[in-house]
Chain A
Amino acid sequence: MPKVLIVEDEPLIRLLLEQTLEGLEEHGVEVIAADNGIVAIEMIQAERPELVLLDVMMPKMNGFEVCRIVKQQLGMDHVHIIMLTAKGQEQDRLKAIEAGTDEFITKPFSIVEVAERVAAVLKIGL
């Protein structure tokens, strides 16, 4: 069963993303969530999600670091990462790309776009 991991420290945004993606459960996708970077890394190793929606601004360990560890240190390049970047500046986008992200969505975000992008990665027709 493919899994999508949501990593977001802001509880309401995390819940909203979970609720947005719960429709994917009909397509056999399991949605799981973590509220910080350290737990996210543990879950990525244990649960092996296909896709990670990764917030950038988080306490303890930010999204860039999580992405770098997953893609470069753990060699889990097959995990598709979509970063949720709050800052739109070029510098942050470059940081995300350097960390190895596959794509990013900027905050404020459109939930329709999140659902479409996730479905596209998982090759699910919504």
Chain B
Amino acid sequence: MKLSALAYELFHAADTPAAIMRQDGLLLHVNDAFTGIAGYKKTQLEGKRNLASFVSSEEIPKILAMQHPAFHKSRAKKPAAVEIAFSGRWGQRTPVRVAASALPGTRTLLLIIRPAHCLTAEATKANRQRFGLFFEQNDAAILVFDPRNCAVVDANLAASALFGYRHDELVSEGLGLFAEPNELDNLIQIIGTMPSSERSYVMTYFRRDGIKSILRFRATVIRMSDGDLVYCSFRDIGEEVRLREELRSRQAQLIHANKMGALGMLVSSVAHEISNPNNFIMHNIQILTDAWKDVLPILRDYYQEHGDYYLGGIPLSEFEEVIPRLVYGIHDGSERIRNIVANLREYVRSDRAKLQSSVDISAVVMNAVALMRSEISRHTNAFQLLSPEGLPFIRGSAQKLEQVVINLLMNALQSLSDRNQAVSLQVTYDAGTDDVLLTIRDEGVGMTEQVQAKILEPFFSTKLERGGTGLGLYISHSIVCEHKGTMRFTSESGVGTTVTVRIPAVLGKAGHDEGRQPLASGVAG
């Protein structure tokens, strides 16, 4: 059959997929929209009986039955319609409604194919009202977009609350109001390509008040009679991410605390076990050193009489030089073991100590400086101390804090490469936060960011080859934490390091509190 020119134009220009089918199922004409959903070229469809390419064999009879006179009799005024699943060439299956109208004077049917849910939306206007209510009263922020230009068509109250803009502002200005400018293009692309609601996306956004946070959004297409719209629900997940992080961090702290508790017990027993044999080494090496001094003249006499000979595979002439080095090595190693064990024991012991005394941090600092006087003058001639009297007390242990000051001061001094480089130690009070601050600044070698990230880890040291145990800062930090304080580092490689310890103040000024804890040793000087 041939279509009139006008009918042909209308048939092909229609957005709705349509086909003209003969009684036997042969397709005479298909329009562009039909080839679009079928995924085949017009030449592959027209003049062929290939319904089976896009309709299952069980459903073909449903389509062919629409031509039966009985079928038409019962639905005389409306085109006959059946609901089937339409399979495109690429495997996508869409539920559709196929409406068939007999073309007068021919033995052919005009088939019009529409998505099933489109008709449902069209059919029930009441649903629209219900949808409107659901949309407006929804707790989730919802924006409805026109996918052709990504303009905001509608926004609910929750969207205004989330973004901080009125409905009319959201509708007139759209995505540009809150989206990160360089993410805008991709965002438009996501919305414009009619996304699947199965996948949610994450984006950063700005509220009207300038606060930046992150959103999770999910977009889905709603098919309306007058075109498709994209419905996007947005949720700020910034707080959720922060809370989850806090939880992760608490869990990590808990695990760490448990580990440290177990480690403390282990350390205590290991320290004891190591300390005993190490005492033998320390003691015996002294006897061996003395014995060596006595034996050496005898060995030399033998050498004079009989010439050079071997001891442990080494000729005596070399042995004389080797033995003192070996003995020194054993002694030095044993000394290091003793220091490590002492540090560990101190840590475990101090862990159990109570922290109930009022402490004058200035006095602690003066005491530590007095103890360190010779070390200070050995490393620098530019030491500055600013420790005013009368600062608020802190609650804790003077001995432990003294250990912190000594440790930090020693680190600062050891970082210097030149005696002209300065170290300063300052105690101040921050009335704003009600903290007492201890600031130790050096002009030493500084630290790289990598080193800074690890300095509080146990057994990490940049001075291992110089006898560092990697426990000093770890223990100092633990002590500061016990005092509910913080320890912060700012450092630049080659410029120097500043350590700031903040500990909350308690009531009462230094020098006026009866509960003040006496210092263990030394005199402030």
Contacts and interface: CB of A to CB of B under 8 A. Distances in A.
* Real binding pair: yes
Interface of A: 10, 12-13, 15-16, 18-19, 22, 39, 42-43, 46, 57, 86-89, 106-113
Contacts of A113: 199
A117 B185 CA distance: 22
Nearest to B236: A12
B138 to A, nearest CB: 21
Contacts of A112: 199-200
Contacts of A109: 201-202
A108 B217 CA distance: 9
A12 B241 CA distance: 7
A110 B200 CA distance: 6
Contact of A88 (B189, B199, B201, B214): B189
B201 A16 contact: no
Contact of B202 (A13, A22, A88): A13
A16 B204 CA distance: 12
A89 B241 contact: no
A39 B203 CA distance: 24
A12 B182 contact: no
Contacts of A22: 248
A12 B450 CA distance: 22
A73 B248 CA distance: 37
A86 B186 contact: yes
A87 B180 CA distance: 10
Q: How large is the interface on B (under 10, 10 to 19, 20 to 34, 35 or more residues)?
A: 20 to 34
B449 A16 contact: no
A108 B190 contact: yes
Contacts of B242: 12, 15
Given A42-B449, A46-B450, A19 B182 contact: no
Interface in B164-213: 180, 182-183, 185-187, 189-190, 199-204, 212-213
A87 B182 contact: yes
B183 A107 contact: yes
B245 A108 contact: no
Given A89-B185, A107-B183, A108-B217, A13 B204 contact: yes
Contact of A108 (B187, B213, B237, B238): B187
Interface of B: 180, 182-183, 185-187, 189-190, 199-204, 212-214, 217, 237-238, 241-242, 244-245, 248, 448-450
Contacts of B217: 108
Given A12-B204, A13-B202, A113-B199, A107 B186 contact: yes
A57 B237 contact: no
A18 to B, nearest CB: 8
A111 B202 contact: yes
A22 B186 CA distance: 27
Given A19-B244, A88-B186, A12 B213 contact: yes
Nearest to A47: B450
Contacts of B202: 13, 16, 108-111
Given A16-B237, A19-B244, A42-B448, A108 B203 contact: yes
Given A15-B241, A19-B248, A110 B186 contact: no
A111 B241 CA distance: 13
A107 B238 contact: no
17 contacts: A10-B214, A15-B244, A22-B248, A39-B449, A42-B448, A42-B449, A88-B186, A88-B189, A89-B185, A107-B204, A108-B183, A108-B202, A109-B202, A110-B201, A111-B200, A112-B200, A113-B199
Nearest to A43: B450
Q: Enumerate the 4 nearest inter-chain pairs by beta-carbon distance, A residue then B residue, closest first.
A: A108-B203, A88-B186, A108-B201, A86-B182
Contacts of B183: 86-87, 107-108
Contacts of B214: 10, 12-13, 16
A8 to B, nearest CB: 11
Given A12-B213, A108-B190, A19 B241 contact: yes
Given A12-B204, A12-B241, A42-B450, 15 more contacts: A10-B212, A12-B242, A13-B214, A16-B214, A16-B241, A87-B183, A87-B185, A88-B186, A106-B186, A107-B203, A109-B201, A110-B199, A110-B202, A111-B200, A111-B202
A12 B199 contact: no
Given A86-B182, A86-B183, A10 B241 contact: no
A22 B252 CA distance: 13
A12 B238 CA distance: 6
Contacts of B448: 42
Contacts of A42: 448-450
A10 B212 CA distance: 10
Contacts of B241: 12, 15-16, 19
